[in-house]
Structure 1
Amino acid sequence: MTGSLIRIKEIINNLNPSEKKIAQYILDNPKEISDLSIKKLSMKSGSSQSAVVRLCKILGYKGYKEFRIMIAKDTVNFNRDNENRYTDVEPKDDLAIIMKNISYNNKKSIDNTMEVLSEEAVEKAVEAITKADRIDFYGIGASQIIAMDAFQKFTRINKNVRATPDTHLQVEFASNLKKGDVAVAISYSGETTDTFESIQIAKEAGATTVSITKFGNNSISSICDINLFVLSPEITFRSGAMSSRIAQLNVIDILFTAVASNMFDDVKEALENTRMAAMSKRIK
C-alpha cells in the first residue's frame, strides 16, 4: 500500500470506533471510493459524514474531495496481495528468500516514507538546523543508532551537535538549550518515555523541536514544532523494525545533505578536512 492507503493502515488501531469503521471499509474496498460521495461512504461503512471528515483531517487532507482523489491515484496499480505487501521472514527460510525479502522491505519502507514525508516540514527542519547554534539528537535503543549517525554526519560540517546513549545526559543537554537551538527526537513508535522526556525539556527550554516518528498521532510528535514522519509497518519477525531504521536513516541523509547544500560555501573546507582526516586512517 502507498500514500493514503498505507496512512490508513498505519493509524487504524488508534482511531475511534466510527472512524475505524470507515477506515476498514476503505481498506477492504479501495477501488470503490472514487465513485462514492461522502454520504454514500458513511452509509456503506455504517458511520457518519462527520466521522469521514474527521478521518480525512487525521490523514492530513483538507477534505473528502482531496482524499478521494488521492485514493483514486493509489488504486491505479493497486494489488493488495502482491506488489503492495510487506514480506515477513519465516523460520528456516532459504537464504535467497531472506535476502530478497529484507531488501524489498527496506526499499518499500523508503518508498512509503516518501509518500508521507512533508516537503514543507523538511524545509522548516533544514532551515532551523542550518541556523542553529546547537543541535541535539535524542534516541534510545535502535533509535540511538540513528542519532549517532546524525551526530557523525553533522560533525563533518562542523556543526555544534550532540548525541549520547546516556538518558541522564540527554536531559541535561536538553535543559541547557535555548531559543535558536534545535532538538531532534527519534522514536519510531513516538512513545519512548526517555526520548519524550528529553524533547519535552528541550521544548520548555525554548529550542525548536523536531520529531522523526511513524505517521499518525503519538506522544512525541504531538509536542514537537516540526514532524517528519516515516512509514514502515512492523511485522512478526521484526523485519519492519529493521526497515523503519532504514527509513529514518534516509530522513537523516536528506536533512544532512540539504543543510550542507545550504551552507556549502561555509562548510566545504570542513568537508575536505574531514575527508582528508578519514583518508589518513586507511591502510592503503
Structure 2
Amino acid sequence: MPGSLIKIKEILDNISPSERKVAKYIIENPDSVSNLPIGELAKRIGTSEATIVRLCKILDFKGYKDFRISITKDIASMKKEDEEEQYTDVKPGDSLESIIQNISYNNKKSIDNTLEIISFDEINKAVDAIVSADRIEFFGIGASFIIAYDAMQKFSRINKIALSFPDPHLQIASAANLKKEDVAVAISYSGETKDTYDSIKMAKESGATTISITKFGQNPISNICDIKLFVSAPEISIRSGAMSSRIAQLNVIDILFSAVTSKQFNEVKKYLQNTRKSIREKKIK
C-alpha cells in the first residue's frame, strides 16, 4: 500500500472522531480525493476544511495541497498492488505451503511498507546522534527486548558502548545515569508500553538524545522522543502481525547500524575485523 494510505491506517485508532471520518473516506475513495479541492472534499464528507488540514498535519504533510499530490502519486502504485497479494493472515488448519507463503509475504510487505513511510531526515539525525554518542542504550520489553538486544550486539561489534537490559527496573535505573552525550532508543510497536515509556522518559530527563521506533502516528513514546522512526506492519489476528512488526523494526536497526558503520568505516574497520576473527576462532575444528 502506498505511503499516504499506510500512514492513515496506522493512525486511525488515535485520532478524533471527526478526523477518523475524513480518514475513512480517503481510504475508501482515494481516486476522488486526488481530483477534489479541499472545499469540495469537506462538503462531500460533511466536515470542515480545518479538520482536513488538521489530519494532513498529523500525517506530516504541510497542508492539503501536499497531501493531494502524494495521493495522486500513490494511485498508480495502488493499481499495481491490486494485482498482487495483500497481507494475509494465517488461519487454523492452513497447509504448510500456505503458512510459508503467507508469513514470508507479510514479512516482506512490512519492510516494503516501512520504506514508504520512513523519514530519511529522521534516519540521518539518528545516525548522527549514534555516531557522536558516548553510550547507547536500547529499551524494549518482551519481543521488543529481542530487537533491543540485537541492536546492542550489533553496535558492540564496532566498539560502541551499547547496553540493553531485559529487566525494566535495570532499564530505568540505567536511564537515570545517562547524560547529554548519550543516546537512548525506545523500541515498542504500539508506542504504549509503560515500562519502555518510563525508561525513555527518564533518559530524556537525564539529558540524553532520545530515539523511538514505533508504528506511525501519535503515541506516548514517539511523542516525547527527539527523533521519531516509524515502521508499518499488518493488523491481523494471528501472531503473524507481531512477527511482521518485529521484522520491520529489526530492519530499521540494520539500517542504523549499516549507516553508522559506513559513516565511520575507517575508524571501525579494525573492530569489525577483530570480531570476525574472534568468531572464526570459536568455530569447532
Q: TM-score range by the shorter chain?
A: over 0.9
For residues 118-163 of structure 1, the C-alpha deviation after alignment (integer angstroms, 9 at most, x for no partner) is 0000000000000100000000000000000001100100101100
Structure 2: which 5+ residue stretches go unaligned?
none
The total of aligned residue pairs comes to 284
Q: Residue in 1 aligned with 2:59?
A: 59
Q: Do the aligned residues in 1 keep the contact of 2:106 with 2:234 (CA within 8 Å)?
A: no
Q: Distance in 1 between matches of 2:70 and 2:176?
A: 42
Offset, 1:81? 6.0
For residues 184-230 of structure 1, the C-alpha deviation after alignment (integer angstroms, 9 at most, x for no partner) is 00000000000000000000000000000000000000000000000
Q: Distance in 1 between matches of 2:50 and 2:183?
A: 38
Q: Distance in 2 between matches of 1:224 and 1:205?
A: 13
Q: Tell me if 1:177 matches 2:178.
A: yes
Q: Residue in 1 aligned with 2:219?
A: 218
TM-score with structure 2 length normalisation?
Answer: 0.97
Q: Distance in 2 between matches of 1:234 and 1:82?
A: 21
Amino acid at match of 1:158: N
Q: Do the aligned residues in 1 keep the contact of 2:2 with 2:77 (CA within 8 Å)?
A: no
Amino acid at match of 2:184: A
Q: Tell me if 1:95 matches 2:96.
A: yes
Amino acid at match of 1:131: S
Q: Residue in 2 aligned with 1:37?
A: 37
Q: Do the aligned residues in 1 keep the contact of 2:89 with 2:238 (CA within 8 Å)?
A: yes
Q: Distance in 2 between matches of 1:169 and 1:73?
A: 47
Q: Tell me if 1:270 matches 2:242.
A: no
Q: Distance in 2 between matches of 1:258 and 1:123?
A: 9
1:41–1:147 distance in 2 versus 1, CA, 3 Å = same
Q: Distance in 2 between matches of 1:208 and 1:52?
A: 33
Q: Residue in 1 aligned with 2:75?
A: 75
Offset, 1:233? 2.5
Q: Which residues of 2 match residues 59-208 of structure 1 at below 5 A?
A: 59-79=59-79, 83=84, 85-208=86-209
Q: Do the aligned residues in 2 keep the contact of 1:78 with 1:84 (CA within 8 Å)?
A: no
Q: Do the aligned residues in 2 keep the contact of 1:139 with 1:187 (CA within 8 Å)?
A: yes
List, as ranges, runs of 4+ consecutive aligned residues in structure 1 with deviation greater than 2 Å. Answer: 79-85
Structure 1: which 5+ residue stretches go unaligned?
none
Amino acid at match of 2:134: D
Instruction: Name the Cα RMSD after superposition.
Output: 1.2
Q: Distance in 1 between matches of 2:18 and 2:209?
A: 35
Offset, 1:84? 6.5
Q: Distance in 1 between matches of 2:77 and 2:160?
A: 44
For residues 58-104 of structure 1, the C-alpha deviation after alignment (integer angstroms, 9 at most, x for no partner) is 00101111101111111114257663621111111011111111111
Q: Distance in 1 between matches of 2:160 and 2:72?
A: 44
Q: Distance in 2 between matches of 1:8 and 1:84?
A: 20
